[in-house]
Amino acid sequence: MKQQYKSYQQTCDFLEECVKKYPDLITMKSIGKTWEGRDIMLATISLNVENADLKPAMLFTGTVHAREWIGNELAVSFIDYLLTNYSSNPKILKTLTKNTLYIVPCLNPDGFEYSRKHFSFWRKNRRNNGDGTYGVDLNRNFSIGYQKSKDTASNVYSGPNPFSEPETIAMKNFVDGKDNITIALDYHSQGNVFFPGHKFSHEEEIEGTDLNTLCANMNYEIAKVTGRKYGIHRGKPPTKLISGSGREYYYSRGILSVVVEVGTRNIPDFMQNMKESIDENIPALLRTLGEAQNYSTNAPKRVSNFHIDTYTSNEITLAWDYPTNKDIYYQIFRNTEDKESCTNANLIAETYNTSFTDIQLQSGSNYFYFIRCVNNLTKVKSPFAPKVKIKTLLDANEFSKTVFPAPNEIGYVASKLLETNRKHFGLNSLFIGVNETKGTSYGVMQFNLDGIPENAIIKDVRISLYPLNRVNAKIEKFGEWSISFVDQDSVSELYDYEQIHNAQIIETLGQSIPSEKLTQGIWSHWDLNSIEKSILETQLRNKKVLFKISGPTELPEGRDSQMMMFDLGYGNFGGGIHYRPSIDIKYTIPSQEIVIDVLNTTTISEDEIEQDQLICGFDANNAKIYGLMEFDLSTLPNPEETIITDSYIRIKNKSATKTKEDIRYNVEFVDVEDSAYESIQNRDRIEFIGYEVSRADLQKNKTHKFIFDHYSRLALEDVHRDDKVAKFVIRPTYSDIKNHIVNWYGKDSNNSVQLVVNYIKRRKEPIASISDLSLSIENDKVKLNWTNPNTEDFRGVYVVRNRFHIPKNHLDGDKIYAGRDNYTYDDFGNKDISKYYSVFAYDNVPNYSEPLFVGHLKKEDDVAQV
């Protein structure tokens, strides 16, 4: 069978045949006539199609732009897939029982045919503009954000007025008459990227999590077929948003609305590329169609005030509000990356409770949580609550540092732009790969490490880059992008192409990213393995680390570009502070050892208390004899900054009475007021130290180590903090022997009992919070003012914004500011939208203080909830 693109007539014929063959499943109708008199055909597909309008529905539109043939082709393939497989595939059957598909394979038939037959790169419809030019960009002719344009020759000419075109008014009339539509997917090419709808504001929207998750779940299905991951592009400042598109019109009517840009070129090789695009999108479409019911008026409402209740380094408790309803339970999903899917693969809990504790988490790590409810009777799910984002606390011995490059230390150097390479630093984007105008182009990225001690032991490292604008960047499935450590001695000038090209590479990171995984709008991360971490450790001595980023250096036949763009976060076209490349380093430092000789030893038996002796065992009456050891901890540093990483008691035995009994001895960390026999007998035991020593052990070894476990180390820190003497008792375990003793060395210049403590110096507790937080409107922006805590250890504040709940963690929302100032403006925010701001003070670890928060609540906006 011939495998090539269908014409519009063939598409209509195909639909007609389907209606004949599957009359219970599909109907078709014309929703309008084009300028050239073609019918704009819409098909309705559902089980018992006569009831289709009563079910929640997904709307598919294709080929709004004439040259973007994927829309029509995918529509035909999807319809064919549904109809020919519904009887054998329970998933399709279930989906079409509960949901309806409205599908317009080609919204721009005139333009499509013009593109097929005459000018393949044609985009608009075929309106005669009356001035010798033709066509209106249908995706600029909808009403939301419509911008009038005069240039009729332009490819994005928006038409004389909104809905001036038969194609757009047909869509408006159809959608306005169908309240059951909950999801709309508009298929375009190219870029392999999702563009979810937006409301022309740089603020989270209540549907933001739904939109991103819808796309991420499509990615989950796409990846199963081809391993590809589309970008999910959302959340940039609203300066360059397109106006008058169908997507924003549907979204304005409460429909979750997404543009899907498919493929790497408009009219790809059918059998090689188009087939792949279709195959990967069909399961994604089916999953999304099944979601239509979860956004209908019959679906449960989303939970409110989903938030972090408490958290530690390895546990997080989440809580939320919901009206009591015995039929409703909740599904909680966890991801470690943003914009990942919520499927069974990451469903971590189902519960009827309104709180949940997640356990066994990693310290100092990012987690993303999602929640939706399920009606246990109907199985219909709710939309998602706005996601919660959190970084767990660091472990007690850990530090972390996020470093951004200085503007003059990040940029790209291109082989054909030798004169201007210097200007590519600290401005807009990194171009990496190859194309005809730039030649071969490398990224250069240097991080200043002087905030990290030279002897740091590196535990985790992540390098992050934000790929952007793949639509312009043109990436085929070809080549891969990688990062290399550069020997800094081999490069004296970062701007010099030849030097970077010939730079001495220490090591290329094992993880490279192939083109199909390099997706715009989703952070690319490089997590270093242990060899790479040890290389970074060697770079600490230089106080800097230099990386070279390389892409392909040659082009496939017939292609002119294989160039990836990464945001630099600087300059007018950079996405700002949020999108700056970074290196995150989690590390610890070598511990120091302190050996503390015992302060006092005492032998305590029923008859007498003997100072400066250390004996344990049994007396003539089988009563126990105890040895008491006391240590003065005042030689340890300031308890607020002492983290004990290891500790043990070293003790040597002098002599012991012989016996064949299996007697064992152990050491207890105790809390006793005095040395009276009574007190020792009824001692308050804090914890056993290490394991017991047996009689046989005494014969084998003279020296014994009793090692502190984690809990005992914390108890030792507490005793130090309370400025007390640390007391330990050595005693035999139970036995009915009489007259048996072990004599240990107590205070003795050569053999003294010793407490060995390994510790690092690190602040344990956060510094005090900021105070006097206030909010005002200045220059049409929200401005926050506060007073910083007055302490030497203050390093800065972190300000975060969240529209839906109070941020309890510095990561839980949009970062507004980090630094030492006592005020900030919310530059991108909309002052007319309700939200919360939290301000955290941090030290050099960093430990984050309790936040102070302020609500900016507008009466008319009920979105923000406490």
Binding site for Zn ion (CB under 5 A): 65, 68, 188
Least CB distance from residue 246 to Zn ion, whole Å?
A: 10
Classify residue 584 by burial, with Cβ atoms within 10 Å: 0-12, 13-18, 19+: middle
Least CB distance from residue 259 to Zn ion, whole Å?
A: 8
Side-chain-facing half-sphere of 598: CA atoms under 13 Å: 30
DSSP string covering 706-743, please?
Answer: EE--HHHHHHHHHHHHTT-EEEEEEEE-S----SEEEE
Least CB distance from residue 107 to Zn ion, whole Å?
A: 11
Classify residue 498 by burial, with Cβ atoms within 10 Å: 0-12, 13-18, 19+: exposed
| Residue closer to Zn ion, measured from CB, 124 or 188 | 188
Q: Report, in angstroms and rounded to the nearest whole number, the Rg of the chain calculated over CA atoms.
A: 34
Least CB distance from residue 188 to Zn ion, whole Å?
A: 3
- For the CA atoms of 778, 784, 786, 792, the dihedral, rounded to the nearest 10 degrees, stands at -120
| Residue closer to Zn ion, measured from CB, 187 or 495 | 187
Least CB distance from residue 573 to Zn ion, whole Å?
A: 22
Least CB distance from residue 237 to Zn ion, whole Å?
A: 22
Least CB distance from residue 122 to Zn ion, whole Å?
A: 12
Q: Which residues contact residue 372 at a Cβ distance below 8 angstroms, ignoring those fewer than 6 apart?
A: 294, 302, 303, 330, 331, 342, 381, 382, 383, 384, 385
The single-letter DSSP state of residue 274 is I
Least CB distance from residue 105 to Zn ion, whole Å?
A: 15
| Residue closer to Zn ion, measured from CB, 66 or 390 | 66
φ/ψ of residue 295, rounded to 5: -120, 15
The single-letter DSSP state of residue 619 is -
680-707 per-residue burial string, b: 16 or more CB within 10 A, e: under 16: beebeebbbbbebbebeebeeeeebebe
The tokens of 176 are what?
A: 């306005």
Nearest-angstrom CA–CA distance, 626 and 821: 59
CB 38 within 8 A of CB 109: yes
Least CB distance from residue 65 to Zn ion, whole Å?
A: 4
| Residue closer to Zn ion, measured from CB, 139 or 603 | 139
Nearest-angstrom CA–CA distance, 626 and 628: 6
Helices (H), 508-639: 530-539
| Residue closer to Zn ion, measured from CB, 188 or 389 | 188
Least CB distance from residue 196 to Zn ion, whole Å?
A: 15
| Residue closer to Zn ion, measured from CB, 115 or 341 | 115
Q: Which of 234, 188, 191, 273 is nearest to 474 (CA)?
A: 191
| Residue closer to Zn ion, measured from CB, 68 or 717 | 68
| Residue closer to Zn ion, measured from CB, 188 or 652 | 188
Least CB distance from residue 138 to Zn ion, whole Å?
A: 9
| Residue closer to Zn ion, measured from CB, 68 or 532 | 68
Residue reference for tokens 């050491």: 667
Least CB distance from residue 261 to Zn ion, whole Å?
A: 7
Beta strand 193-196 with 231-232 is: parallel
CB 60 within 8 A of CB 81: no
| Residue closer to Zn ion, measured from CB, 68 or 567 | 68
| Residue closer to Zn ion, measured from CB, 188 or 727 | 188
| Residue closer to Zn ion, measured from CB, 138 or 568 | 138
| Residue closer to Zn ion, measured from CB, 188 or 803 | 188
816-849 per-residue burial string, b: 16 or more CB within 10 A, e: under 16: bbbeeeeebebebbbeebbbbbbbbbbbebbbbb
Classify residue 379 by burial, with Cβ atoms within 10 Å: 0-12, 13-18, 19+: exposed
| Residue closer to Zn ion, measured from CB, 230 or 330 | 230
Nearest-angstrom CA–CA distance, 373 and 320: 11
Least CB distance from residue 73 to Zn ion, whole Å?
A: 14
Nearest-angstrom CA–CA distance, 494 and 482: 18
Least CB distance from residue 202 to Zn ion, whole Å?
A: 24
Cβ-closest residue to Zn ion? 188
Least CB distance from residue 142 to Zn ion, whole Å?
A: 13
Least CB distance from residue 529 to Zn ion, whole Å?
A: 41
φ/ψ region of 662 (left if φ > 0, alpha if ψ in -120 to 50, else beta) reads: beta
Strand partners, 461: 585
Q: Which of 730, 731, 710, 747 is nearest to 632 (CA)?
A: 747
Least CB distance from residue 157 to Zn ion, whole Å?
A: 14
The tokens of 266 are what?
A: 């408009």
For 197, the 3-state DSSP assignment is: coil
Q: Which of 412, 424, 429 is nearest to 472 (CA)?
A: 429
| Residue closer to Zn ion, measured from CB, 5 or 478 | 5
Residue reference for tokens 């279930």: 94
| Residue closer to Zn ion, measured from CB, 168 or 834 | 168
| Residue closer to Zn ion, measured from CB, 68 or 812 | 68
Nearest-angstrom CA–CA distance, 233 and 230: 9
| Residue closer to Zn ion, measured from CB, 144 or 403 | 144
Nearest-angstrom CA–CA distance, 762 and 784: 31
CB 631 within 8 A of CB 726: yes
Least CB distance from residue 68 to Zn ion, whole Å?
A: 5
The tokens of 529 are what?
A: 């393995």
Nearest-angstrom CA–CA distance, 122 and 787: 59
145-155 per-residue burial string, b: 16 or more CB within 10 A, e: under 16: bbeebeebeee
